[in-house]
């Protein structure tokens, strides 16, 4: 049963600390997306990759957020320094370019910044 995995599922940290969220896309998928869900903004696209190359990160606050794909099986989203307004659920999704644009989501990381 192929699925996207995300770690950690929950993270509580203090303002100013670095936060790293990890995502393992479905094997064989070559596009990876990072979303943030807040009450006000719905599902907000932060960044996405194709074949590990960043295509668009215009949705991210660049001064504090960074997204990378060290290899095809791992995507990371870092926040440094974290702020209380970053508290949200962060989802990773993967898909296969060249076919229907269906994305498959992980369970999310719930981040609370105190």
Q: Please report, as ranges, the residues that interact with another protein according to CB under 8 A.
A: 4, 6, 31, 33, 42-43, 45, 48, 50, 55-56, 91, 93, 95, 97, 100-108, 110
Shortest Cβ 9–another protein spacing (Å): 9
Is residue 106 classed exposed, middle or buried when 0-12, 13-18 and 19+ CB atoms within 10 A define those classes?
A: buried
Burial (Cβ within 10 Å: 0-12, 13-18, ≥19) of residue 2 = exposed
> In this complex, which beta carbon is closest to another protein, that of residue 81 or of residue 89?
89
Nearer to another protein by Cβ, of 43 and 114: the residue is 43
Is the CB of 31 or the CB of 82 nearer to another protein?
31
CA angle 25, 54, 10 (to 5 degrees): 45
Min separation Cβ 45 and another protein, Å: 7
């Amino acid at each position: 049963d192929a699925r996207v995995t995300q770690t950690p599922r929950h993270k509580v940290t203090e303002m100013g600390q670095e936060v790293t969220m990890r995502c393992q896309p479905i094997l064989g998928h070559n596009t990876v997306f990072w979303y943030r869900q807040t009450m006000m903004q719905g599902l907000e696209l932060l960044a996405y990759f194709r074949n590990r190359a960043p295509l668009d990160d215009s949705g991210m606050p660049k001064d504090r957020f960074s997204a990378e794909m060290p290899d095809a099986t791992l995507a990371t989203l870092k926040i440094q320094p974290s702020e209380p307004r970053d508290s949200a659920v962060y989802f990773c999704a993967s898909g296969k370019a060249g076919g229907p644009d269906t994305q498959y989501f992980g369970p999310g990381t719930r981040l609370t910044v105190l």
